[in-house]
A and B are shown apart, each in its own frame.
Chain A
Amino acid sequence: MKTIALLTVLAIGAFLLYGTPEFPAWGDPQAPAALHVSPYYIEHTIEDTAVPNVVTSVLADYRGYDTMFETSVIFAAGLACLMLLRRYQPKTQETRLYRHVPTGITLRIAQGGKIPEASDEFERIDSQWVPYDLIVKLTARLIVPFAQLFALYVIAHGHHSPGGGFQGGVIYGAALILYAVSFDLRSTFRRLSERTAILLSAAGVLIYASTGFLCMLMGGNFLDYGYLAPLLGGDPVMARSHGIFIVEIGVGMAVMAVMVSLYYNLASAGRHDEGL
């Protein structure tokens, strides 16, 4: 079995290697990939869309269809993960463990006991001994707001520097996941509930698609932002720039929400308890 697999893999490698002499050399400006559509994108991005970052203008304008369906793929992946793993348990009265955070005392509340209300003072834990990491929590509390601010900057400044909806959304999601790792899943649900995360991911895709349909209502083609000029103000070129920004916000929301909801489901195997 192993030898057959090894031979197959070596044959694939040999075939690929056999093809390399036909390929352009590393960094060749005359490579076929650089000769057809990409010169048009580079030379016309300013006059078409007023966006200096060519990657952003190609992503959201010239190839807007592609990006819209990529966003839907991400949304579908988030939904698939939810449907595969999520387990809803009936709310039974079982024995629960709570920690009184200021004193560090663990309370065991037996069946039928009075459960403390959700607050910062009492923290529900799943096992008898969960260490309270003061340093990790304090550091995360300092880093998370700046990471979120940086994510918003990356989304908003994607027209002029490397960035955009995908990158900013992932950074925002990573900030929330850092919060979830250093605290626990339950305290993260208080900031961003499962329901909100799913609604946000759907809303992101909806913003993208409805921008496209709005362009059709205004008389243009799907995702032809130039026709939004009467709504957004300015000339059609600036309208395209603004249209790209709206779409990037939708992408950022969808990516952020899907990353967070993937983490929610994978970290707790769908039980949505204390998590990792």
Chain B
Amino acid sequence: MEDLAANFLTKYNYWAFIALVMIGFYAMIVKRNLVKKIVGMNILQTAVILFYVSIGAKRDADLPIIAHGHGSASHAVHAADYINPLPHVLMLTAIVVSVATLGVAIALAIKIYRQYGTLEEDEIGERIRNA
């Protein structure tokens, strides 16, 4: 039990990530409405972004922008003073891409609504079978 508490206190970022992943997966599997599924997919994406960004954190470190970058060539730069820039780069593009893919998902939902007049999965299936 003490192990679990220590685990939670030092690694609560993973716990938050796991909670978001579970919420997102549940919405994607169980919800019958396509828009709710899209919302679940977005929660899952947010979970992954949280996971990456929290990995990049370092204790007592600064933003990954080199201080006094120009003018002092002899100035030594220590990697431990700056947080890890790599996850930020990956998630920066991932956020914009997730907005663009969200647009495509909503476009598909609009197209399905035009065709079948509903966004409920079971009703769409019924209409496909009856057609």
Contact = CB atoms under 8 A, between A and B. Distances in A.
A54 B64 contact: yes
A255 interface: yes
Given A12-B25, A13-B18, A55-B92, A269 B85 contact: no
Interface residues of A, number: 66
B89 A58 contact: yes
B69 A46 contact: yes
Interface string A224-266: 0000000000000000000000000000000100110010011
B79 A55 contact: no
B39 interface: no
Given A9-B26, A43-B77, A265 B107 contact: yes
Given A33-B86, A53-B65, A259 B99 contact: yes
B1 interface: no
Contacts of B57: 26-27
Chain B CB within 10 Å — which of A12, A29, A269 has the most?
A: A29
B104 A77 contact: yes
B10 A81 contact: no
Interface stretch (A17-25, A140-148, A215-223): A17-25
Given A16-B21, A78-B100, 15 more contacts: A5-B30, A17-B15, A26-B12, A29-B80, A33-B84, A34-B84, A38-B85, A42-B82, A53-B66, A55-B64, A55-B85, A70-B93, A77-B103, A85-B111, A266-B107
Interface of A: 1-2, 5-6, 8-10, 12-13, 16-17, 20-21, 23-29, 31, 33-34, 37-39, 41-43, 45-46, 50, 52-55, 58-59, 63, 66-67, 70, 73-74, 77-78, 80-81, 84-85, 160-162, 164, 166-167, 169-170, 255, 258-259, 262, 265-266, 269-270
